[in-house]
Amino acid sequence: RDALTHSLNVVTVEVAQEVTIGRVMSLAAKAGLPKPKQNYLAHALGTNEATPLQVASAYTGFAQLGTRVTPVGVARVTTGSGMTIAAPQGQKNEVMRPQIAFIMDSILKDVVNRGTAAKVRARGFKANVAGKTGTSRDGWFAGFTPNLVCVVYVGFDDGSDLGMTGADSALPIWTDFMSAALQAHPDWGGDWQQPPDIEQADIDPHTGLLAAPDSPTKRTELFVHGTAPQQPTVEATPDEDLTNPDLNVPVTPNTLPTPDTLEVPPLPEETPTPGKRGRAEPDERGSPPPGATSRLTGTVTLDIDPTTG
């Protein structure tokens, strides 16, 4: 939820890798998006090209709680007297279960209420909507109610970089249109009705497990029936190592590395130039010149893995 709300794309790729990109792209094709010749993890970030109409068609699956509607170009054909003689209907197909779509709608509401699309609210738009920003060389915003989907694309036809985010380029256009549309047709708004087999659970957002009853950070989350976590979060004590997943390894001063036990590569020494002060040599005021580097007593320099620390 938080990753999608704030467009943390690394998590998106991790999820695609976990469920396999093949399954992700199969679902995308079922939603009407173009199918690539080969599947790559980068497709989880939207690198497979699609038109605004194709994206809008895919988003009807969220708006209609799992049922995608194929767009039609003509709503109806009438006679001069107003009698309808033809009313083409878009084809419908189920893309996902209503429970999955409802949870996704809840997450995409957060994108608008507190995430990358919060400018929708800042511009005074108050209706129940969900949506997602998109930024590459172009700017996108796809947003919807249960009865209306609107996708805005802003970009150059030669592929030049727009230099703006979707929230700054496409979102204002979307907000202006949707405000006018819902003012003219209030019945196009509304909210989603919760389908059966949805349950709630209080979880710890740091662990994803059940939160303690008195946890100050607990959050109520939605789950498909039978998928909520059953394991409670174990509260760590000050003597436990929070980086250990078992939370049962005591940490003492004897187990922590110290500067004396670490191998530290020496800093390279510069050959001083006659008549020129060394880079790290302080000036008359006792301050090192700009660009100088220094090492404090008792500090060490190490190469670390940024993933594990």
For residue 175, the model assigns a pLDDT of 98
What's the count of helices (H) and strands (E) in the chain, helices before strands?
Answer: 7, 9
Q: Where are the domains of the chain?
A: 197-256
For residue 24, the model assigns a pLDDT of 94
> Which of 205-235 are b and which e, b meaning 16 or more Cβ less than 10 Å from the residue's Cβ?
eeeeebbeeebeebeebbbeeeeebeeebee
Q: What angle do CA 15, 21, 25 make, to 5 degrees?
A: 115
Q: What is the pLDDT of residues 79-116, one digit of tens each?
A: 999 999 999 888 999 999 999 999 999 999 999 999 99
Q: How far apart are CA 135 and CA 3, in angstroms?
A: 15
For residue 290, the model assigns a pLDDT of 52
Query: What mean pLDDT value characterizes the chain?
Result: 83
For residue 245, the model assigns a pLDDT of 45
**Run of H or E including 140:** strand 139-144
pTM equals: 0.73
How far is residue 166 from each of residues 26, 112, 152, 169, measured CA to CA in Å?
26, 13, 9, 5
Concatenating the DSSP letter of every residue in 182-243 gives: HHH-GGG---PPPPSSEEEEEE-TTTSSBPPTT-TT-EEEEEETT-S--SBPPPPPTTB-TT
The helix-helix angle for 9-19 and 21-30 (nearest 10°) equals 100
Q: What is the pLDDT of residues 250-271, one digit of tens each?
A: 444 444 444 444 444 454 444 4
What pairing do the DSSP bridges indicate for beta strands 77-78 and 84-86? antiparallel
Which residue stretches of the chain have pLDDT < 50?
237-265, 267-288, 292-295
Bridge partners of residue 68, in order along the sequence:
93
Q: How far apart are CA 156 and CA 153, in angstroms?
A: 10
Name the DSSP letter for residue 153. Answer: E
Q: How far apart are CA 1 and CA 206, in angstroms?
A: 12
